[in-house]
Amino acid sequence: MPPHSDYGFLTLLLQDEVEGLQIQFQGKWFTVHPINNAFIVNVGDHLEIFSNGKYKSVLHRVLVNSSKPRRSVASLHSVCFNSTVRPSPKLIDEANPKRYVDTDFETFLAYVSTTETKRKSFLESRKFTSILHR
């Protein structure tokens, strides 16, 4: 699975004992070692936006190997698909300005139909800094 961040709020992930999942941190890839009977809780793009960047929607990928099959179950949890996601007003003040534009599922669909997807992620496109430097 190519590098991506999860669209939505939270992902609960159960992986078997075969390694493959990696996250990117400070430009480097790290393997997420499987822990028996434990869920991996992954912050999605919407939670990063809602928390105004306090929680990060981590870039991750899955590597395949030629010796062992690997199974994982991802349960993706999102807000209702016609609702708008925006930074929580409780986290915005003069010292902490709004860092993301409001977003909804329609905006996401419009985004994935553009060529911009090849250059940056949807989450990246929602950042005010990204819009100013377009």
User: Two tokens at 120?
Assistant: 């940056």
CB 97 within 8 A of CB 126: no
Q: Select from 13-21, 50-58, 89-97, 123-131 the region that touches ligand AKG (CB under 6 A).
A: 13-21
* Interaction of residue 6 with Fe ion, rule CB under 5 A: yes
Least distance (Å) between residue 132 CB and ligand AKG = 29
Identify the sign of the CA torsion 95, 5, 127, 49.
negative
User: What is the closest distance, in whole angstroms, from the C-beta atom of residue 79 to ligand AKG in the complex?
Assistant: 17
Residues 24-83 that bind ligand AKG (CB under 6 A): 60, 62, 72, 74
* Angular region, 21: left φ>0, alpha ψ -120 to 50, beta rest: beta
Nearer to Fe ion, 59 or 101 (CB): 59
Phi and psi, residue 36, nearest 5°: -55, 135
DSSP code of 126? T
**Residue 128, H or E segment:** helix 128-132
The residue range among 5-13, 50-58, 63-71, 82-90 that interacts with Fe ion, by the rule CB under 5 A, is: 5-13
Q: Which residues bind Fe ion (CB under 5 A)?
A: 6
Q: Which residues bind ligand AKG (CB under 6 A)?
A: 1, 6, 13, 15, 21, 60, 62, 72, 74
